[in-house]
Amino acid sequence: MIKDTRLILALDVTDRHQALKISQDVKGYVDAIKIGYPLVLATGKDIIGEIAEMVPVIADFKVADIPNTDRLICEQVFSAGANALIVHGFTGSDSLKTCVEVAEVHGADIYVVTEMSHPGALDFMQKVAEDMAQLASNAKVAGVVAPATRPERVQKIRSIIGNDIAIISPGVGVQGGSAADAIKAGADWVIVGRSIYLADDPKKAAMEIAKEIKDAIDQ
């Protein structure tokens, strides 16, 4: 993923026309568009390739299965045109290794979830997040997902993975996180959904967040 605006749109809409319109509008202001179950289940997997023709696509299926099933899922996702795929880390090293191998064949990237941004992530995930970050780092994935709602955790996860792999960070806006704080804590990209796609003018909203990120970097 080319690091320019450092903003990723989470396009959790369920209408094909709206999805394509917003993708076209934000092109140039986001480095990638993350799409997942809401849009793909509503419209079909061809939407992955249609959006990827405009902006790189990160497929967010949070893959979490045995290696063979993971392989089958990865092949479908990359054949559909996704540039990257998000997987869970808790299934362990063999499942993750399989995803990385399939991604390599397709010239695509894998991102691994460590600790999620919602309050429920404290119930189970936070306890093993640092181990999952280490696992992801060992597997040489493109990056990990860490919570913008807890910048101190972004910082902690950065200290574990070093600078060789990236952090993409959701939870900005509606969930209460700040794009500037996440970037300052060590995130390479922030992921923003509702604050952009529910805005009256999604392009303007994306531009404003991209500016906030740039100002935080320039400080």
Q: How far is the CB of 192 from ligand O7E (least distance, A)?
A: 5
Residues of this chain that bind ligand O7E (CB under 6 A):
10, 12, 34, 60, 86, 113, 116-117, 145, 147, 168, 170-171, 173-175, 191-195
Q: Which residues pair with 111 in a beta bridge?
A: 86, 143
Selected catalytic residue, list 27, 65, 184, 214: 65
**For residues 120 and 122, what is the distance between their CA atoms, to the nearest angstrom?**
5
Selected catalytic residue, list 27, 45, 62, 214: 62
| 150 to 5, 76, 121, 127: CA distances (angstroms) | 22, 33, 11, 14
**Structure tokens belonging to residue 91:** 């299934």
Selected catalytic residue, list 60, 70, 181, 188: 60
* 3-class state of residue 73 by DSSP: helix
**Structure tokens belonging to residue 34:** 């993350």
> By Cβ distance, which residue is nearest to ligand O7E?
193
Active site residue 4: no
Active site residue 181: no
Q: How far is the CB of 146 from ligand O7E (least distance, A)?
A: 8
- Tell whether 70 is in a known binding site: no
Active site residue 218: no
- The sign of the torsion formed by the CA atoms of 42, 43, 44, 46 equals negative
Which residues participate in catalysis according to the annotation?
Answer: 60, 62, 65
Binding residues, by number, are 12, 34, 60-69, 117, 170-180, 193-194
